[in-house]
Structure 1
Amino acid sequence: MGNSHAHGHHRKFRNNGNVPSPDKTASAPSPSQPVPPSIYQPEHPLIPNSSIHASSMATSLPYSHVDSALRALAAQAEGFGRCAIGGLHGPIYYVTTLLDDGPGSLRDGCRKKEPLWIVFEVSGTIQLGSYLNVSSYKTIDGRGQRIKLTGKGLRLKECEHVIICNLEFEGGRGPDVDGIQIKPKSKHIWIDRCSLRDYDDGLIDINRESTDITVSRCHFAQHDKTILIGADPTHVGDRCIRVTIHHCFFDGTRQRHPRVRFGKVHLYNNYIRNWGIYAVCASVESQIYSQCNIYEAGQKKIAFKYLSEKAADKEEASSGCIRSEGDLFVIGAQAGLMAEDGEFCMFHPSEYYPTWTIEPPTDSLKQVLQHCTGWQCVPRPADHPLAAQ
């Protein structure tokens, strides 16, 4: 796969204050009339929903600049994980062996306490015999090589400022074995341009009060329970969870794109096709803002599912809320939206971050997401000296 991006004229969109009905989706542009990507900049940050209109020229799809220098990834995520700096202020650590542990191994670098920017001098498969714990202020940067993790996965436990970029995860075995497990109380995490498939539990699990996380440009395939956000109804502390998932390709995965309990989740410009049970599930007290995604049905047609559960500190069970803005439902897909409770206060992303890069859900976007998500054959950029911070 190449690391290509859409080209052409680009526009900046702003919120114009109109509030369309929350249980209807905006009509998508015709594939024969592609509309360029845009920077979404709401003028009224607390308006609960929005429509967009053109105002001026803007940039391309997100992150076209992050391969210009090694550390250009730092603090560049869109969405809730935008503050993640990884190992920005640490030295480079070179992974020189595919062994599970020992000097020069990935595990040895990830356990060190100081900030590190971890890169690879080798390509191949690392067979993990146990979860690999990642400590705070680490970047695991797979650019320039092809690294596959198998056997077990990464565990981000009580850590902060971690960036995971351009890796493959496949074949995790054992009970409760996830590709990337983020729990408990981890924050400022960015997972970008990774390929994940075929684990015995989840591909990404985010729970136990972990928050401020972005998952972008990832490719998910050959799996059942894809992304779980929020552990179970007894963990009411998960009300703090905030996650952005954007420009990802969910390629025939069965369910949980994601499933959410308690948390606030912003989904935009993702391509979800041929799900086996549902695409997105809102469970107890969750708030899911689905914006300009492509939902392409296979045999199962209903995209959105609601599951009622009783929070440990509440008397009655409840499900969550899904708001769909500008989503495209194709090949017979149906949203399956439920009316919002008038007393329910749905979040809007602009309450938390000012801009995000978005384009209408066209065939052009679908093609980009099919070819430009997951691990990419891109060179490792040079490491330029840091400017004064």
Structure 2
Amino acid sequence: MALHDFQAAPWPLVLLLGVAIILMTPSTPVLAKRSSARMNVIDRCWRMKPNWRSHRQQLATCSVGYAGKMTNNIGRGLTLYKVTDPSDDALNPRPGTLRYGVTKIKGKVWITFQRDMRIKLQKPLLVSSFTTIDGRGASVHIAGGACLMLRRATNVIIHGLRIHDCKAQGPGQVMGPDGEIVNLGPVDGDAIRVVTSSKIWIDHNTLYDCQDGLIDVTRGSTGVTISNNWFRYQNKVILLGHDDGFLRDKNMKVTVAFNYFGPGCVQRMPRVRHGYAHVVNNLYQGWGQYAIGGSMNPSVKSQANLFIAPKSGNKEVTWRKTDKNGMSYNFKSVEDIFENGASFTQTHGGGGLKPNYNFEERFQVADARSVRSLTRSSGALRCSKSSC
């Protein structure tokens, strides 16, 4: 019906059309219910509410997996800090910059961004404990220089960033937590490097094209959830475990959930040394060498993922490092879906490889047939004033 026809229509018809229009708006409970069915358990916790800006900190109650709930990051004593300046000084950060927020403010800090910005870090950004970096509402790129490092940190949320083109860095000094100067050795050029840290949640970031890897969890780190991220155009994607000789990583527990891998990812989605990974409800859009790999007696439960093999090349999902002394591997696939000829070679032993989550960590695993929907909004979200 054209506008002039609408204006000339009898008032009962106008009333009926008005009611129909109201029922079709996104804010109605009917449509909200439909869209919630397409969201994973993390997103459903906070994205369904309008005016998300008014309750940003609700995000901390929505994490699942080994990070548990991040409620230590909110509540009494929280400082709200807004990044207004995209510049960086590794030793003398100015107020308004990202480095100032993550190093100079003591206690709990929730960091947001005033506007879209591109930040080129001079040296790795050492993130303090009880810090949330919340990129929602702005397009924030950390690119072209150093990137993020969590070093002996706990209770950290990294959400909504676009991290790419990270470069290796030589040794040097940098401002660290509590405003202390830290002497750093060389770093390889990872997007996010987690070292000797615990209770870390990395959610809804877009990561790609870094000189080394995208996420490293190493040197005794544990209690980590990597969720809702979009990984693309990268050789080495996720490394869990420092090296074959670092036995402390036997205690490492990491949840990898609701992520989208591809296009252009080659290997390590993840690669696991020593520890345990619950890899669940992820979408794999092909791979180069392999998707999930390991060495040094790792345990991996692959559950309800969607593996879409590349058109040509290796169709096998898994890879295991061979060793003349022999290694044991616990690789188990449960409820996964394999397309385009993908295959998963399981190992014997290890039983069901239960994650043994506690009450705060556990969540209901979705059917692998819904993974396309559950990962459709992976990566940094484009948020309006009222919705995300």
- The normalised TM-score by structure 2 is 0.77
| Counterpart position of 2:365 | 358
AA in 1 matched with 2:197: S
Which of 84, 95, 108 is 2:100 aligned to?
108
Measure the CA separation in 2 of the matches of 1:147 and 1:165: 11
Measure the CA separation in 2 of the matches of 1:165 and 1:297: 29
| Counterpart position of 2:9 | none
For residue 365 of structure 1, report the CA deviation from its aligned partner.
2.6
Which of 344, 347, 354 is 1:348 aligned to?
354
Which of 96, 110, 113 is 2:84 aligned to?
96
For residue 86 of structure 1, report the CA deviation from its aligned partner.
6.0
Measure the CA separation in 2 of the matches of 1:9 and 1:73: 18
Matched, 1:269 2:281: yes
CA deviation vs aligned residue, 1:142-186 (integer Å, no higher than 9, x gap): 011110101221000001000011110011112611000000x21
Higher normalized contact order (CA 8 Å, seq sep 6+, divided by chain length) = 1
AA in 2 matched with 1:378: C
Contact 2:235–2:266 (8 Å) recurs in 1: yes
SS of 2:112 mapped into structure 1: strand
| Counterpart position of 1:378 | 383
1:1-389 residue pairs with structure 2 within 5 A?
8=34, 61-67=41-47, 68=52, 69-85=55-71, 87-89=73-75, 90-101=78-89, 102-112=94-104, 113-150=106-143, 151-174=145-168, 176-183=188-195, 185-252=196-263, 253-298=265-310, 299=312, 300-308=314-322, 316-338=325-347, 340-341=348-349, 344=350, 347-353=353-359, 355-362=362-369, 364-369=370-375, 371-379=376-384
Measure the CA separation in 1 of the matches of 2:307 and 2:114: 39
Measure the CA separation in 1 of the matches of 2:289 and 2:132: 35
SS of 1:228 mapped into structure 2: strand
For residue 194 of structure 1, report the CA deviation from its aligned partner.
0.3
For residue 289 of structure 1, report the CA deviation from its aligned partner.
0.7
Root-mean-square deviation (CA, aligned residues, Å) is: 2.4
AA in 1 matched with 2:188: D
> Higher helix proportion, which one?
2
Contact 1:261–1:320 (8 Å) recurs in 2: no
Measure the CA separation in 1 of the matches of 2:45 and 2:357: 26
User: Which stretch of structure 1 is more off in the superposition, 284-293 or 173-182?
Assistant: 173-182
Measure the CA separation in 1 of the matches of 2:386 and 2:59: 11
Task: Indicate how the Cα distance of structure 1 residues 208 and 346 shifts in structure 2: closer, same or farther if over 3 A, else same.
Answer: farther
CA deviation vs aligned residue, 1:80-110 (integer Å, no higher than 9, x gap): 0113346314110110111113211001111
Contact 2:65–2:357 (8 Å) recurs in 1: no
For residue 9 of structure 1, report the CA deviation from its aligned partner.
10
| Counterpart position of 1:16 | none
Task: Indicate how the Cα distance of structure 1 residues 266 and 380 shifts in structure 2: closer, same or farther if over 3 A, else same.
Answer: farther
AA in 1 matched with 2:85: T
Measure the CA separation in 2 of the matches of 1:257 and 1:6: 33
For residue 240 of structure 1, report the CA deviation from its aligned partner.
1.1
Contact 2:332–2:353 (8 Å) recurs in 1: no
SS of 1:205 mapped into structure 2: strand
Measure the CA separation in 2 of the matches of 1:331 and 1:153: 36
Contact 1:98–1:122 (8 Å) recurs in 2: no
Identify unmatched segments of 5+ residues in structure 2. 1-30, 169-186
Task: Indicate how the Cα distance of structure 1 residues 91 and 103 shifts in structure 2: closer, same or farther if over 3 A, else same.
Answer: same
Identity in percent:
31
Contact 2:40–2:374 (8 Å) recurs in 1: no
For residue 347 of structure 1, report the CA deviation from its aligned partner.
3.4
Task: Indicate how the Cα distance of structure 1 residues 220 and 9 shifts in structure 2: closer, same or farther if over 3 A, else same.
Answer: closer
CA deviation vs aligned residue, 1:261-298 (integer Å, no higher than 9, x gap): 01111011100121000010021121111100001100
